[in-house]
Amino acid sequence: MRNYVLVPEALVVAGAVLLVLLGRAPRRSRRWAPLVATVLVAVALAVELWAGATLSTYLGGALVQDRFALFAKAAVLLAAGLAIAVTDWSDESAPAIGMAMILLAAFGVMIVASATDFVGLWAGLELAAAAGVVLASVRRADLGLRLLVAGGVASALVLIGLAFVYATTGSADLSTVRRVAASATDTLPLAIPVFLLLGGLAVRAGLPPFQFARLPVGLGASPLGAGILIGLVAAAALTVAFKISAALLPLPAAFSPYLMVVSYTHLRAHE
C-alpha cells in the first residue's frame, strides 16, 4: 500500500489540470464535469482511507504520512467533494475554473498536512490562498485585488516568522525545530517572530480581530468563492498553525504573556 499513498494527491492535481483545460471546451461538453469531478474526489478519498494508514515518509523525508495527515487529508477531500456535488454551477460564471480551484485548494491543504518542513507548509498555504484569490476575482476583479493585498501582508508576516525561527533553531525541519526548542530556554527574540507568524496565519484564516481583512471579499464574491475563502484557506492556515505550535510546544512560558494579550483582544473584538 505504500506505493499508493501519493495517489490521492496525483488524482486531485490531474483533475484540476483537466478542469482548467475543459474551461476552453464547448458548454455542452462541460455539463458532466461536476459529476466527473465528484467521482474523482470520491476515488481519491477512498484511496486515502485505504492506503493512508501506511505510516512512513516520502520524497526524502519532505512529506510524512501520519495519523494527523490522514485525518486532515480525508477531511479536506470530503469537504471538496461535497462542495462540488452540492454547488449550483449554473450560478457560477466559470464553473470549470471553480471546480479546478476547489481541487487546487484541497491539494494545498494536503501538502500542508504532510509537510515536514517550513517550505512545504508555506507552499501549501500559498497554493490554497491563490485558489481563493482566483475564485474571488472571477466575479469581481477588485475583490480579488483586495484579497491579494491582504494576502501579501499575511504572507510577509508568515515568511518573517518562519525566517526568524529558522535563524534561531538552525533548521527548517519541524522535528529538528522541536528538538532544538526542547533544549532551548525561553527567549523573547524567538517569541516575537513566532507571534508574527501566528498573526499572519490568523489573517489567512480570518480569525478575530483580523476577519475584516477578507470579510468584504467573502461577502462580495460568489457563494463558491466565499466558501473557499472561509473554508479551505482557513483550514490550510489552521493546519500550519497546529504543526508550528506542535513543533514549538516546549516553549510555552515565553508565549504566555502574549497569549493573554491576544485573548484580551479577541474578547474585546466581540463586545
pLDDT tens-digit readout, 160-178: 888 888 887 788 888 888 8
Q: What is the pLDDT of residues 226-238, one digit of tens each?
A: 666 677 888 888 8
Percent of the chain with pLDDT over 90: 9
Cis ω on the peptide bond leading into residue 34 (within 30° of 0)? no
Q: Where are the beta strands (DSSP E) in 40-101?
A: 56-58, 63-65
Q: What is the pLDDT of residues 134-145, one digit of tens each?
A: 877 777 777 777
Share the mean pLDDT of the chain. 77
> Distance between CA atoms of 134 and 31, rounded to whole angstroms?
22
> What confidence score (pLDDT) does residue 43 get?
92
Closest CA to 116 of 177, 159, 55: 177
> Distance between CA atoms of 47 and 246, rounded to whole angstroms?
28
* pLDDT at 181 exceeding the cut of 60: yes
Q: Are 236 and 204 in contact (CB under 8 A)?
A: yes
> What confidence score (pLDDT) does residue 270 get?
45
What average pLDDT does range 107-127 have in this prediction? 90
* pLDDT at 190 exceeding the cut of 80: no
